[in-house]
Structure 1
């Protein structure tokens, strides 16, 4: 398949430039709010020009989160099947509180079915639950552990990650990576293959 040419290639390149700038700005933002104007200024465009490439602010933010997931996978590897990678990802999140806050804000708003990020989060959590449950079941079976079902343990682990991030935003001294590692070990000891 050949690379896009013409206006589409320019539009695709501009989208990528906007996403990179948005990731940088949110990573640098800390607790301060980020506006479309901040992103537009970084890429030398107007607010309207930035939104033209995404259709709406909500679509832009959803694309930023998708890009965040892709960057995380590149840096940390498979965070779903490797608990040490998950802990490293959370430890890395400490340096990007603006992205953590963006994720949590958009995730909460996406509970509404008409929100542009709704499908992204539904699919993301379904995929994460399935992959984490498989990992827990495989690891538990190898250790002859039984008890709680791995699908339940996966939901608890994923909920803990999001909950830890909220608590960390409120109390930055919380060690999310250490807490996640301890919970993973505890769940691994109790989770077994699904009945």
Structure 2
């Protein structure tokens, strides 16, 4: 859900970014880690299991990512960039397309509760400035707020209507807050909550509060 420029702290192989073989191995590790953490969560998923999947040792994984926390943060960024890469345009859509993309992402997340658990846990821990994930989540929320605000402006322009910028900015924060809050409820409730339907309802309602009658096009 973020753009590709979001920086993840705690990935010590930054200086190797121009080596294709290193990038390929990191991608392989991230795919394996996404599978393991997606099924088991960050606490039960182990570096040993991930290392086994890619034919490496635990030390080899740590060589690329520094720590398990560094790997977890990289997995979250990998999830975000992969979601955008899967789009036909290979970049975040604008206007009403952005809100459809957010809802589609939630539908995919319903199939990978471990990744949702990892996101909720790490985002909560990132509130302190000395936390390794602080900069990642700060930039992530900043990017998303800006993208949502721009999407609302674009929708208003398409409808040739005016928009209250203060309401648009507040709506962008509210949409992210609702999405994160619903994910937490979904986990606590044993995934019984209809996460995607609840998210779609919340987004449609908030968008319509800024741009009347816009829900059907969001």
Please, what TM-score do these two structures have when normalized by structure 2?
Answer: 0.76
What pairs with 1:112-151 in structure 2 (closer than 5 Å)? 112-140=128-156, 142=159, 144=161, 149-151=167-169
Q: Report which stretch shifted further, 148-157 or 72-81.
A: 72-81
Unaligned runs of 5+ in 1: none
Give the distance between the partners of 2:42 and 2:136, measured in 1 at CA. Answer: 24
2:41–2:118 CA contact under 8 A, matched in 1: no
Q: Which residue of 2 aligns with 1:20?
A: 31
Q: Report which stretch shifted further, 53-62 or 145-154.
A: 145-154
2:63 alignment partner, one of 42, 52, 67: 52
Give the distance between the partners of 2:146 and 2:79, measured in 1 at CA. Answer: 21
Shift, 1:188, TM fit:
1.9
1:145–1:190 CA contact under 8 A, matched in 2: no
2:183–2:195 CA contact under 8 A, matched in 1: yes
Q: Which residue of 1 aligns with 2:106?
A: 90
Shift, 1:44, TM fit:
2.1
The structure with higher relative contact order (CA 8 Å, sep 6+) is: 2
- Note if 1:61 corresponds to 2:77: no
Shift, 1:12, TM fit:
2.4
1:23–1:99 CA contact under 8 A, matched in 2: yes
Shift, 1:140, TM fit:
4.1
Unaligned runs of 5+ in 2: 1-15, 212-218
Please, what TM-score do these two structures have when normalized by structure 1?
Answer: 0.84
1:153–1:187 CA contact under 8 A, matched in 2: yes
Give the distance between the partners of 1:33 and 1:98, measured in 2 at CA. Answer: 9
* Matched residue count: 187
Assess, with a 3 A threshold, how the Cα gap between structure 1 residues 80 and 60 changes in structure 2: closer, same or farther: farther
Give the distance between the partners of 1:184 and 1:61, measured in 2 at CA. Answer: 28
